[in-house]
Structure 1
Amino acid sequence: MWRWLICGLAGMAVGIGSAFSISGGWLSEASIVSGKWSTDPTVGAAAANPWVRATIARVGLLALTKEETIYFNRELDEDGAPLVETCTYALSGQALPTRWWSITIYGADQMLPVNTDKASSIDATRALPAGATSWTGSLSANRPATGQWLSSKGGGRFSLTIRLYNPQSVDRAFLEGLNLPQVKKLSCSGAVAGVGGKK
């Protein structure tokens, strides 16, 4: 009887741990960090463990092979604070050693924020016209007068994903040395439901 009880408790512990791992993010111990951006090199690789595969299935990430696309994610600004809808951020970046890139905003549910702004992504084509080597933009709930813009309206506490298509290399040292876009907080106002216990 005790044997069955112990086995049952062990099974529950494994199940809860797996659920926590899946809901908490898809990065593994092998994650690569570049600034406040991070990636799991097993995404899109045969070596992906069951938790990475399950999380990809849950969030609907279309994971190409890592030679085709590297996915970096971030949930924090340059000061290490969570990215939230009620704050305005300055974006800045430069040309990257990859064929093309795009940055997309995702809400806490891993879906695009629900709004009508049609500004859920920025890409290399728009941000870097011919001859340009650097770019700037903004990330906020309100549309700026000019410039590149990501709308966080309806995003709550959100995250950003940058996709690097056909990167020059997929070696760890190369990826860790990338100078990926910065996200600097400029100002904040109000409160976001579900963030910091505020309603």
Structure 2
Amino acid sequence: MLKKALLTLIALVIAIGGGAASVWYALHVQKGAGAITIGAWTAFPDIGTPEADPYTNARVAREGVLALGRAEGLAFVAAHDSAGQPLLRECAYRIEGNLPVARFWTLYAADQSLDFIRTGKLRPAALQSYQVLRRPDNSVLVDASGSPAPGNWLITAGEGPMYFVLTFYDTPIASSTGLSGIELPRIVRRGCNA
């Protein structure tokens, strides 16, 4: 009798623990159900639409974000650089390349909750399309680090993991047909503080 009760308890712990762990993983991983990946960037194009899967809806509810509809825009999140290394706040990065057509876009450094990194400075850890300097070929070059840099500088601070969030507003890429053949900027690690 005791052996049967103990085996039942072990089975329940494994089932409940395994189920909770799989849900936690599905909600915290940046790739998965409904995700598209372009280079280092991942987006969930069905977010904010009736076609969104249950995991995407749960992610929106957990993070408390205002999801953009398909006609409004699309947000891409990068958790790794273009070489596949995790993004770290204590490292310096260069974000370079062309951006898809959009009426307006924003780029910011985020913590694990995808909220702006608090830098302790007056300058926010964010840039937007109307304030960046562009190259002659209309591409952008942004240096992201804790130390000032000439040109487009995205300030970061602290230690630990970080994300870059690139959001395009009023853009044709938000439709499912607009996602084919687009390129997003590369994220290159330039060095880290020891």
Residues 51, 149 of structure 1: alpha-carbon distance in 2 compared, 3 angstrom cutoff: same
Counterpart selection for 1:76 from 77, 80, 83: 80
Aligned to 2:143: 138
Percent identity between the two aligned chains = 22
Residues 136, 17 of structure 1: alpha-carbon distance in 2 compared, 3 angstrom cutoff: same
For structure 2, list consecutive stretches of 5 or more residues without a partner in the other structure: none
TM-score (norm 1): 0.80
2:31 matches 1:30 = no
SS of residue paired to 1:38: strand
Counterpart selection for 2:23 from 18, 21, 42: 18
Aligned to 2:186: 182
For structure 1, list consecutive stretches of 5 or more residues without a partner in the other structure: 191-199
Counterpart selection for 1:124 from 112, 123, 129: 129
Deviation at 1:72, TM superposition (A): 0.8
Which deviations, in whole Å up to 9, do the C-alpha atoms of 1:74-130 show, x marking residues without a partner? 11112111111221112223352111111111112433222223231111111157x
Contact kept, 8 Å, 2:99 with 2:184, in 1: the verdict is no
| AA matched with 2:162 | F
Residues 151, 46 of structure 1: alpha-carbon distance in 2 compared, 3 angstrom cutoff: same
2:104 matches 1:100 = yes
CA distance in 2, matches of 1:122, 1:157: 20
Residues 79, 9 of structure 1: alpha-carbon distance in 2 compared, 3 angstrom cutoff: closer
Pairwise CA RMSD: 2.6
CA distance in 2, matches of 1:24, 1:95: 25
CA distance in 2, matches of 1:137, 1:56: 29
CA distance in 2, matches of 1:154, 1:176: 36
Which structure would you say has the larger Rg? 2
| AA matched with 2:151 | G
CA distance in 1, matches of 2:159, 2:28: 18
Residues 51, 119 of structure 1: alpha-carbon distance in 2 compared, 3 angstrom cutoff: same
| AA matched with 1:120 | A
CA distance in 2, matches of 1:72, 1:23: 15
Contact kept, 8 Å, 2:105 with 2:169, in 1: the verdict is yes
SS of residue paired to 1:127: coil
TM-score (norm 2): 0.82
| AA matched with 1:48 | A
SS of residue paired to 1:126: coil
Deviation at 1:158, TM superposition (A): 0.4
SS of residue paired to 2:174: coil
> How many residue pairs align between the two structures?
187
Residues 179, 114 of structure 1: alpha-carbon distance in 2 compared, 3 angstrom cutoff: same
Residues 168, 69 of structure 1: alpha-carbon distance in 2 compared, 3 angstrom cutoff: same
Aligned to 1:85: 89
